[in-house]
Amino acid sequence: MYQHCIALKYARYGNIKPYGDEDNWLLPAYTWLGFHCGYCPQIWLARGSSAITGFRSKSLLKKSKFINRNRREAKISANNILFEFDVLPNKSVFPVDYDLWCFILSSLANTKPNSSKQDFDKNVRETLDYFLKEEITSKEKGEEISDCDYIWDWGNFDGDIDAYMKKYLFVENDQIVVPSLNLKTAKRIICRNEKQKKKLRKIGFIEDRIKIKNVAKWNF
């Protein structure tokens, strides 16, 4: 199951494409990802869990001792709608592991959007080098260390970012990106109230596919 969260005002009965928001602090990260997947910006979908879509989570960023969360959080919106898909016919599906994406997000977001791939890669290398060194130091001191393979294995890649990302980031575990998305192919549409359901019907979505859920009590 693939899940995409979108504000009701942007929902369309048909294909949607991502829009480039120049004020979005994540734009540099999307730019770097575009060097690999071939398109920027991207539409993001979770694979199996809505918690990372922003539909019911207080933040898109997972809590971790490695992640710099000194950015404004992406708050949930009462007008967000969740679209669920059994399969995605788009041939341009590109996998992005959630944990490692969050790990390198700060180094990517703090790079200028018009930077070259080499500049982005340099910042990511420095981040990986720093945390690997920190973990090695902690281990030597007998302190708590991480069990993240993607941190400990970095030293075996001799700085080869592309090979490293192919092994650890560009794998389909929990999220993917696509250049466009056909919302009318969704098998289930989750909204919060009857008013939203009425608007979705007016847009053209099929009644039987629209479900009203109490998000606070629903595990999905």
Question: What does the pLDDT look like over 82-102, one tens digit per residue?
Answer: 999 998 766 789 999 999 999
Distance of CA 116 to the CA centre of its chain: 22
pLDDT-derived band at 108 (thresholds 50, 70, 90) equals very high
Q: Which residue has the tokens 């898909």?
A: 85
| 15-24, 172-181, 203-212: segment of lowest average pLDDT | 15-24
Nearest alpha-carbon partner for 117 in 195, 54, 38, 25: 38
Question: Beta strands of 37-155 (E only): which ranges?
Answer: 43-47, 80-85, 94-95
pLDDT-derived band at 176 (thresholds 50, 70, 90) equals very high
pLDDT of 16 strictly over 60: yes
